Structure 1
Amino acid sequence: MVFAALPPIFRSRLFRYGLPFMVTVVGGSFWLRDFAQLRYTFRKVKRVSAEEFAELVGKQKDLRRVDPEELLREVQAEADANYEMVRGPRPWEENNQLEEIKKKRQEERKRKKEAAAAAVV
């Protein structure tokens, strides 16, 4: 065996398995850092300074800052206004109520599409 001629410390499991593992982990992190740096080195997008960014944003129309809580309230109010509670039919019942609601929604969508098409023309 190759390890028989080595001193006993080099025949230990730490040197046979642990050391190569640690070298791979530590060396791999350095190699990966250099490899990932290539992505930023050869990037075609140029960086914009803070002054240039302010100038570019200033040229655009004034954008309203959106508060997430306010947006959530608006969406919830809209959902509450359009909410209609429908009980799902049991297997032994007819689902007339559900079918009526489906037809009503399809008609509303159809009217909206026709209105949008008429507005475009």
Structure 2
Amino acid sequence: MWSKLKALRRNRTVNYGIPMLLLVVGGSVGLREFTQIRYDDQKNRRKLDPALEAKLNTQKQPFSLEQEYEKLKDINLDKWKNIRGPRPWEHSREYQEQQQREQEQAQQQKGL
């Protein structure tokens, strides 16, 4: 009996093959479990309360093309000026003046 165990210990398949096979199969099973935990966690993070989800979906308000067309019809597209925005390292007075004019127009429209 002891001679058979000594023969098994000298066998290359037992010494190298079985541990390698266990490592490959065990690693595959272990990785599957860890990745499943990851995907389950992502799924749980995506779930929201219905009340909170209703507050977040304010941007999904219905609109019609006719309403958007009416808004665009009032805009004067013939009088426009192409003004380049300032670069981070420079000051553009023209850009600043345009912003001031737009703010003044917005305030006038709110006042009306």
Same fold? TM cut 0.5: no
TM range (shorter): 0.3 to 0.5
Higher relative contact order (CA closer than 8 Å, sequence separation 6+): 2
